[in-house]
Amino acid sequence: MGKTVTEKILSDHLVEGELEPGEEIGIEIDQVLTQDTTGTLVWLQFEAMGLNEIQTELAAQYCDHQTYQFDFKNTDDHRFLRSAAGTFGAYFSRPGNGICHNVHRENFAAPNKTLLGSDSHTPTPGGLGQLAIGSGGLDVAVAMGGGAYYVEMPEIVNVRLEGELPEWATAKDIILEMLRRLSVKGGVGKIFEYTGPGVETLTAPERMTITNMGTELGATSSIFPTDEQTKDYLERVGRGEDYEKLQPDEDAQYHDQVTVDLSELEPLIAKPSMPDNVVPVREAAGAEVEQVVIGSCTNGGYEDILPAAKMLDGRTVNLTTEMIVAPGSKKASEMLARQGWTAEMMAAGVNFSESTCGACIGIGHVPGSDSVSLRTFNRNFEGRSGIEDDNVYLCSPEVATASALKGEIIDPRDLAEELNDLEPPGLELPEEYEGAESDIIGPDDAVDDGLVKGPNIGDVPLKDPLDTHLQGEALLKMDDNITTDHIIPATQDILMYRSNIPKLSEFTLSRVDDTFAERALESDGGFLVAGENYGQGSSREHAALCPMYLGIEGVLAQSFARIHRANLFNFGLLPLEIDEKAYENIEQGDDIEIVDDIAKAVRSGQEEFTIRVNDDWETTGILDASDRERQILADGGKLAHVKQQHEESGGAPADD
């Protein structure tokens, strides 16, 4: 039987298991990436496991999320990351050099390789035929030490692209259309593999906008085949030799198919406050816009900003609208500056930011109260922009720029009609992605100054092995689609404690209930209760580690998002699936008891657990876990488990 592109890469990298959907597989990782807000824990855990040298072909440490360094704690984190990269053998991308996904695709991403990253948008280079997966930091640390990465074999869905995009419709509209149809849960347990005649009409950067935001579908990854467009992009970034042809076999079998006719697409927009709340721009038109931001790992590339620059050329941003451009990489910034576009945009009223995630997680450019902000980003979860009750819309750079010119949400086709001389800017790649390389320090050039830890950088707390008996209060009951931004928000006041777990834990779930952390600490153990898709969004393992630190024993939810579920195992928290009726009947404050001898039952492979509520009624919780995950859970989390394995074997941290 023929193979899909995903199966081809996976079979080349398979070290354990079979490529059967739902089965756990172990794969070898070629490249890893990590960033500043998840990276400190990655290296602290790498160190705690007794590892001393990177074993993957390539490891890259980026400093991109909090580059303004408002607090010495951020600066100390960056210094620690530089020293860790140097000590253990990773590339180091300096603060301000750009967003990890943008810099990685320009410098290292390559077809037919596997990439694991401690950031949920790691699948971005899927647009170049790389199989890239986001995970918690501990999984990245293990992979860096030479251990396999374990993941449930996803179903492979064929996304067949037909036709060609009409004027003013963009790659962003393709992924927004996918979100409109499938929702933020639609990709859980799936890899979206793009095929069909529409593929060759899209340049590699356009493909990477789609694979980047496949994360918002909840997908394990998204990938394109490789072809002349891939080769062309790799040549322009100066790495033509990395090209490999990768196409699905003609008789490849997919588990499902979605067809998108590109020629039927129009400019779309995701309304507040979920990326799947998608409508045609014309349905949202007329709302006054106070802020427009172009940037992020989704649409912050040179190719994304150039159309905006062309649309702004000789025009002025509306007087009551602020327009900010934050290029995704310093190279993009440098190129736009050298070509004169930066000056044109500034003259039009644009405010330039350094190359950073920044506003995407509420660090800088926080919208005003009761105002609309239009962003070319990938997430608009409530409060993520840095203000509660925000009104953040997600759209393409073209829609964002048209709206900045008009001062209200407008379909660029309608603005073109109003202005007469506004031409569709189209998409143009530079001859060569040219820029200074001074901000990437290779492992051989690193300054050897040991691990430099500031006073805010603590140890990673460990959990005891699983108890035989679990009982405690349902400390918090939550709705569907709770994001990791709810569990551990990423705004500046909180982000600076990412390397200090006792302090960071004080903010756990504060966005849902600001008494939670105190109540959790006071109670002796306890549970979280949630609806569907609990823990969607970011890969931050702090969203499992902090509840663990506060004494939470487990989460009872209708379903879990993939990365967060893995993080719960990694930190020894019991993730039990409950049905809708149980979810409805359990109230916050109820007493929850897991009746079975939990440690024994988890190790032995038991799937159904009896949950007794208020010593009054019972329901069943399902533990859907592999043998490996069960051992990790029972040992009190992956760090304890891997340390033990490593000591026993004296070798690589294989955690099986």
The residues that touch ligand SF4, with contacts defined as CB under 6 A, are: 65, 99, 119, 121, 296-297, 357, 360-361, 377-379
Nearer to ligand MIC, 310 or 542 (CB): 542
SS3 16: strand
99 binds, among ligand MIC, ligand SF4, none (CB under 5 to 8 A by kind): ligand SF4
List of residues 6+ apart from 504 with CB closer than 8 A: 488, 494, 497, 498, 542, 546
Which partner, ligand MIC, ligand SF4, none, binds residue 630 by CB below 5 to 8 Å per kind? none
Degrees to nearest 5, angle at CA 247 with 246 and 249: 135
As measured in angstroms, the least distance from the Cβ of 65 to ligand MIC is: 6
**Within 13 A of 216's CA, how many CA atoms are on the CB side?**
30
The DSSP annotation for 562-591 comes to: HHHHHHHHHTT-EEEE--HHHHHH--TT-E
Which candidate, 383, 387, 350, 343, places its Cα nearest to that of 368?
A: 387
- SS3 per residue for 162-220: ECCCCCCCCHHHHHHHHHHHHCCCCCECEEEEEECCCHHHCCHHHHHHHHHHHHHHCEC
User: Which of ligand MIC, ligand SF4, none sits in contact with 122, Cβ below 5 to 8 A by type?
Assistant: none
Length of the chain: 656
Amino acid at 480: D
Shortest spacing between CB 122 and ligand MIC, in angstroms: 8
State whether residue 536 is helix, strand or coil: strand
User: Closest approach of Cβ 121 to ligand MIC, in Å?
Assistant: 6
Which CB sits closer to ligand MIC, 13 or 384?
A: 384
Q: Collect all residues with Cβ–Cβ distance below 8 Å to 180 and sequence separation of at least 6.
A: 268, 276, 278, 279
* Residue 101 CA: distances (Å) to CA of 118, 126, 127, 422: 11, 11, 12, 32
Q: Applying CB under 6 A, which residues contact ligand MIC?
A: 37-38, 65, 119-121, 361, 490, 537-540
H or E element: which one contains 398?
A: helix 397-406
Least distance in Å: CB of 124 to ligand MIC?
11
Quick check: 136 and 118 in contact, CB under 8 A? yes
Residue 103 interacts with, from ligand SF4, ligand MIC, none (CB under 5-8 Å by kind): none
Q: Which does 540 bind (CB under 5 to 8 A by kind): ligand SF4, ligand MIC, none?
A: ligand MIC
360 vs 410 by CB, closer to ligand SF4: 360
Count Cβ atoms below 10 Å from residue 436 Cβ, excluding itself: 10
CB of 60 to ligand MIC, least distance (A): 15
CB atoms within 10 A of CB 378: 24
Q: Which does 296 bind (CB under 5 to 8 A by kind): ligand SF4, ligand MIC, none?
A: ligand SF4
Work out how close the CB of 176 gets to ligand MIC at its nearest, in angstroms, rounded to a whole number.
Answer: 17
Least separation in angstroms between residue 185's CB and ligand MIC is: 17
CB atoms within 10 A of CB 166: 15
Count CA within 13 A, CB hemisphere, residue 210: 29
Pick the closer one to ligand MIC by CB: 376 or 539.
Answer: 539
Least distance in angstroms from the C-beta of 540 to ligand SF4 = 10
CB nearer to ligand SF4: give 375 or 630.
375
DSSP secondary structure string, 604-652? HT--EEEEEETTTEEEEEE----HHHHHHHHTTSHHHHHHHHHHHHSS-
Least distance in angstroms from the C-beta of 298 to ligand SF4: 7
Report the residue number, 89 or 537, with the smaller CB distance to ligand MIC.
537
Question: Closest CB to ligand MIC among 490 and 602?
Answer: 490
Q: Which C-beta is closer to ligand SF4: that of 379 or that of 638?
A: 379
Q: Which residue has the tokens 């810099």?
A: 103
Nearer to ligand SF4, 296 or 318 (CB): 296
In terms of CB distance, is 186 or 358 closer to ligand SF4?
Answer: 358
Shortest reach from residue 35's CB to ligand MIC, in Å? 6
Decide which of ligand MIC, ligand SF4, none touches 175; Cβ closer than 5 to 8 Å per partner kind: none
> Burial of 407 by CB count in 10 Å (0-12 exposed, 13-18 middle, 19+ buried)?
middle
Q: Please choose which of ligand MIC, ligand SF4, none residue 211 contacts, taking the beta carbon within 5 to 8 angstroms, the exact cut-off set by kind.
A: none
In the list ligand SF4, ligand MIC, none, the entry touching 226 (Cβ below 5 to 8 angstroms by class) is none
**Nearer Cβ to ligand SF4, position 378 or 492?**
378
Closest distance to ligand MIC from the beta carbon of 134 (Å): 6
Task: Tell me phi and psi for residue 453, to 5 degrees.
Answer: -110, 125
Q: Which is nearer to ligand SF4, 194 or 377 (CB)?
A: 377
Question: Pick from ligand SF4, ligand MIC, none: which does 138 bind, CB < 5 to 8 A by kind?
Answer: none
Residue (of 319, 295, 291, 290) closest to 308 by Cα position? 295
> Which one of ligand SF4, ligand MIC, none interacts with residue 38, CB within 5 to 8 A by kind?
ligand MIC
Report the partner that residue 37 touches, choosing among ligand MIC, ligand SF4, none (CB closer than 5 to 8 A by kind): ligand MIC
Task: Compute the distance between CA of residue 171 and CA of residue 224 in angstroms, rounded to an integer.
Answer: 13
Backbone φ/ψ region at 222: left (φ over 0), alpha (ψ -120 to 50), beta: beta
- Least Å distance, CB 485 to ligand MIC, is 6
CB of 297 to ligand SF4, least distance (A): 3
Percentage helix, strand, coil for the chain under 3-state DSSP, each rounded to 5: 35, 20, 45
CB-nearer residue toward ligand SF4: 119 or 322: 119
Among ligand MIC, ligand SF4, none, residue 539 binds (CB under 5-8 Å by kind): ligand MIC
Sheet holding 31-34, edge to edge: 131-134, 114-117, 31-34, 58-62, 91-93, 440-441
